[in-house]
Structures are given as structure tokens and as C-alpha cells.
A and B are shown apart, each in its own frame.
Chain A
């Protein structure tokens, strides 16, 4: 096999990057190896590149001695060993909530919510961006950029501010207002693009070809960025007492998160950090943007792009880059990919909030609603330990529920008026 590598290493200052135990980039399609650098697509076949490592020996004690952030897993990420001392957002180690109320309501024996709304900018995107920033610095980049459905824009703008570097974020112009404001406040160059996310993504891919000194976190440094999602899987296992759950439900936008959580579980098994069987992995999509669920149900290996139309804008990627790999993971682990309507998403948000006091964004509503649907369809085992991922904060997508919930009543400030409502005895 011939291996051709573009000699242009845009912003690299010439020194070898310190990316920890990472050894190279391997094509997930044809296996061709590229050196560590700002490469994301295989020069042989256009397939996605993935970080390869030589882990050697990693122990629970080493991890336990690390900081209460994703950097405790630095030996399993493409970052320098001293990463925790460099300004970054230091996300992770978010709470794993035992959801007994929701479990009772759904008839599930043991249910946990991995609540990633507790990250610095309130979504799981802080994990991937922190890893992308650490790697981008090593590769010599001085600008951070991204196309985003919102959460990523928040995370990139905040991380760039922490790092003291410029950022350029590109979002669809019809994005939820809180997500635009919660990016703009960090001072990036924020460009609202008239088009859907796939249009923004295409623009960013073209710009990445023009500005080779910009690290587009989810384009030209995507192999490093995506590895950050493994930390969700590592944390779930560690927080369960170094155990794997039997089944997990994960939202699917590009699909990278689900694929990397599966990779994390397999790495923990391979390193001997946990025992047992790899979990069954279930993907969750909105019916208004369900290219992966549709392909799964039709038995297809290829994912046909769709034009998104759903309130779950953070999952509204009609042409998901990791879609084929989500199908592989769901089938290999005996999981599934399911989709739910916008009404079910709103009901999912309300159900989680009402039962567990966790206000999820629309993506979390998708995941809870898919959990409910999979149980109803008998595709999920109610007696098996289950972890569901909430990847974002409900305050960012308030519009989704403002017509569904509100004051029980509006009254004058008198006890008579309150008694007349007859709500206290209900």
C-alpha cells in the first residue's frame, strides 16, 4: 500500500508535536497510516483518520491520581503529559445520577443519567474542544474555528478565550438565540450563515482548505477532537466503580460521540481496567433528522443524507460523517438506532425534569424519548443496568418547552385567591 502524505504542515513550528502516547493517524477505511499532523481525510480513499496509540501499561491508580477532569485520562488521549497545567476549560468528571424515579416510571431496574450539562459551557462539547485545543497547540495552530449547531460554538469560543487565542465560529442563522448569545459573549468572530448545518459544514470545509493555519476543531483536527468523547465512556465506567453498564443510549448527530464511547469501552477492556462484556449501544435521533435510524431500520450499510426539520437543532446534521460507523457499532453490540417525533422530544425533556430534576436540552429530550420508545418496543432490556447520556443544558433550548410549561396560575397577592385555585389539596 502506498502512503502519500501532504507535506504541507500548515502552522507547525517545526518541532515534533508532543501528543502523549499517540503514534500516528490510521485510516478507518483502508488502514493507511499517516504521521501525526493536521490531517483528517485519508489521501488514499478519503476515509476518516483516527488516532492510533501505543498505550503500554495504564493503571486505575494512575488515573485516580489525576485531576477531577478529563485530564485524569490524559494517557489515553492525544495530548501532552503536562496538559493539565496549560490554560484550557478542564471539562469532565460530570455527575452520574442514579435515576430511581425515572426508572420506576419506565419500569426499568437500574438507570443512570450521565449528566454532561455540568461542563464549563454546559454541553459535552467542552470535552472534545479541550482535546482539540491541546492537540492544535502542539501542531502549531494559533486560531481555533468550527462549524457548529450551537453547543460547539459555545465551547470553542470559551476555550479560545481561556487560551488567549482568536476564534472563528460559523453557525446556522436560525439557531436558538441563547446558543448564539452564549457563543458571542466570549468574543469570537461569530458568523451566522443563511443555511442549515450541512451548508455551514460545507463552507467550513472549504475555508479549512484556504486557511491552513486555522484549527477547525471538527474538520482538520477532527481525529484529535473526536477522541475527547471517549472520556464520557471512561467516566461512566470509573463512576460505576470500574464496571461497564449493560446498555447505553446516546444521541446521534454526526455519530462521532457514540462511536468514541464504544471505543472507550473497548479500550478499557483491552487495557484490563474493566472486566466483562462490551455494552449494547443504542443511538437516538429525531424523526425530523433520522438518516442513521432510517438506515438502521432498513438494514442499509450506507446513510442517505436528509434535509433536517426538527426542534432538536443540536442533532440536526442531515449528512452525518460517522453515520456508517454508528450502524456498525449498533449492529456489532446488538443495539439499535431509533428516532422520535418533536412532540415526543418535548415530553422526554419534561419527563426527565419532572422525575429527576435535570433540565435537558432538546438532544437530551431525544435520548429520553428514545429510551422510552425502545422499552415500549421491547428492544431494551428493562432488567439490565442502563446509562442514558444527557449531553446539554435545557436553558439553551428554552423555546422547545415554553409553550408546553408555564405558571399553573396567575393570581393577585391574596390568600383567598390562592385558596380559590384549590391546588394545595390536589
Chain B
């Protein structure tokens, strides 16, 4: 069984998605955010390197939301992403 996860792509990453602001990826059952990022990179090569740092962690100026929750409040890259999950990647340099 595979699951569909929808990903909201920020403007600065749309060069990887041919301008698309919303893309979807297929991941296995029980997949996590980490799997979603890998699947994203398979479809749009290079995108993972923009979201993750050299140590494979989410860059400090990137906010990632799984549905409505900042993954820093959940389990980070280990946050589960069941079928129909919406993932948003947003630059963290806004506000105040």
C-alpha cells in the first residue's frame, strides 16, 4: 500500500518543481517526514539538499509543518505522514 502526501513548496524551491507550488509524492505505509523528503528528492533532484543540512537535519531557517503542526513540536523528521498528509515547507526568516 502506498500513501499520497501533498507538499507545499515555497517560492525559493519552485525552481526545482518547474514553478509548481503544490506537488504530491508517493510513500510507503508507515512513512515518516524523512521518507517524504527522500521521495521529493527522487522526483525533484537536489531539493532535499536545500531543506536538510549536511548532517541530514532540517536546516535551522526552515520550518516544516505536518498538517498544522510544526514538526519541532512533534518528532521532527521521524514525524509520521499517513495517507493524505499535507506537508508545508516554509522559510523561517519571517515575522516580528
Q: List the interface of chain A (C-beta within 8 A of B).
A: 4, 6, 8, 29, 39-41, 43-49, 147, 197-199, 201-202, 204-206, 208-210, 212, 216, 218-219, 222, 253-257, 302, 304-305, 307, 317, 319-322, 324
Task: Give the distance to chain A from B74, nearest Cβ to Cβ, in Å.
Answer: 12
CA distance A39 to B93 in the complex (A): 11
Q: Indicate whether A46 sits within 8 Å of B96 (C-beta atoms), given known contacts A6-B15, A209-B10.
A: no
CA distance A210 to B20 in the complex (A): 11
B94 touches A253 (CB 8 A): no
- Inter-chain contacts of A197 with B (CB < 8 A): 95
B96 touches A256 (CB 8 A): yes
Closest 6 CB pairs of A and B: A254-B96, A41-B91, A48-B93, A201-B95, A219-B94, A46-B61
B96 touches A320 (CB 8 A): yes
Task: Give the distance to chain B from A204, nearest Cβ to Cβ, in Å.
Answer: 7
Q: Indicate whether A319 sits within 8 Å of B70 (C-beta atoms), given known contacts A6-B12, A45-B61.
A: yes
CA distance A255 to B94 in the complex (A): 11
Q: Of A202, A302, A322, which contacts B96 at CB under 8 A? A: A322
B73 touches A4 (CB 8 A): no
CA distance A41 to B95 in the complex (A): 13
Task: Give the distance to chain A from B11, nearest Cβ to Cβ, in Å.
Answer: 5
- Inter-chain contacts of A257 with B (CB < 8 A): 96
A29 touches B65 (CB 8 A): no
Q: Which of chain B's residues 56-86 have a Cβ closer than 8 Å to chain A?
A: 59-63, 65, 68, 70, 72-73
Identify the closest chain A residue to B96 (Cβ): A254
CA distance A36 to B72 in the complex (A): 32
Q: Indicate whether A46 sits within 8 Å of B59 (C-beta atoms), given known contacts A206-B88, A209-B10, A210-B21.
A: yes
A6 touches B11 (CB 8 A): yes
Q: Indicate whether A46 sits within 8 Å of B65 (C-beta atoms), given known contacts A206-B8, A317-B96.
A: no
CA distance A85 to B41 in the complex (A): 50
CA distance A319 to B61 in the complex (A): 11
A43 touches B12 (CB 8 A): yes
Task: Give the distance to chain A from B71, nearest Cβ to Cβ, in Å.
Answer: 10
- Inter-chain contacts of B63 with A (CB < 8 A): 202, 319
Q: Which of chain B's residues 1-37 have a Cβ closer than 8 Å to chain A?
A: 8, 10-12, 14-15, 21
Residue among B51, B94, B96 having the largest count of chain A Cβ atoms under 10 Å: B96
- Inter-chain contacts of B68 with A (CB < 8 A): 199
Q: List the interface of chain B (C-beta within 8 A of A).
A: 8, 10-12, 14-15, 21, 50-51, 59-63, 65, 68, 70, 72-73, 88, 90-96
- Inter-chain contacts of A208 with B (CB < 8 A): 11, 94
Q: Of B21, B70, B91, which contacts A305 at CB under 8 A? A: B70
Identify the closest chain B residue to A256 (Cβ): B96
6 contacts between A and B (CB under 8 A): A6-B11, A43-B12, A47-B61, A198-B70, A205-B90, A321-B93
CA distance A190 to B38 in the complex (A): 39
A-B pair count, CB < 8 Å, reads: 102
- Inter-chain contacts of A206 with B (CB < 8 A): 8, 88, 90
Given contacts A46-B12, A317-B96, 13 further A-B contacts (CB under 8 A): A6-B14, A6-B15, A41-B61, A198-B70, A198-B95, A202-B63, A202-B88, A210-B21, A212-B11, A218-B96, A317-B95, A321-B92, A321-B96
Q: Of B11, B12, B72, B96, which contacts A304 at CB under 8 A? A: B72
A41 touches B70 (CB 8 A): no
Task: Give the distance to chain B from A156, nearest Cβ to Cβ, in Å.
Answer: 13
- Inter-chain contacts of A320 with B (CB < 8 A): 95-96
- Inter-chain contacts of A6 with B (CB < 8 A): 11-12, 14-15
Identify the closest chain B residue to A252 (Cβ): B96
- Inter-chain contacts of A43 with B (CB < 8 A): 12, 15, 50
CA distance A309 to B94 in the complex (A): 21
A205 touches B65 (CB 8 A): no
A209 touches B95 (CB 8 A): no
B90 touches A202 (CB 8 A): yes
- Inter-chain contacts of B65 with A (CB < 8 A): 202
- Inter-chain contacts of A322 with B (CB < 8 A): 96
CA distance A40 to B91 in the complex (A): 9
B12 touches A305 (CB 8 A): no
CA distance A29 to B61 in the complex (A): 9
A41 touches B96 (CB 8 A): no
- Inter-chain contacts of B70 with A (CB < 8 A): 198, 305, 319
A255 touches B61 (CB 8 A): no
CA distance A200 to B32 in the complex (A): 26
- Inter-chain contacts of A218 with B (CB < 8 A): 94-96
CA distance A290 to B91 in the complex (A): 22
Residue among A41, A253, A307, A321 having the largest count of chain B Cβ atoms under 10 Å: A41
CA distance A257 to B95 in the complex (A): 12
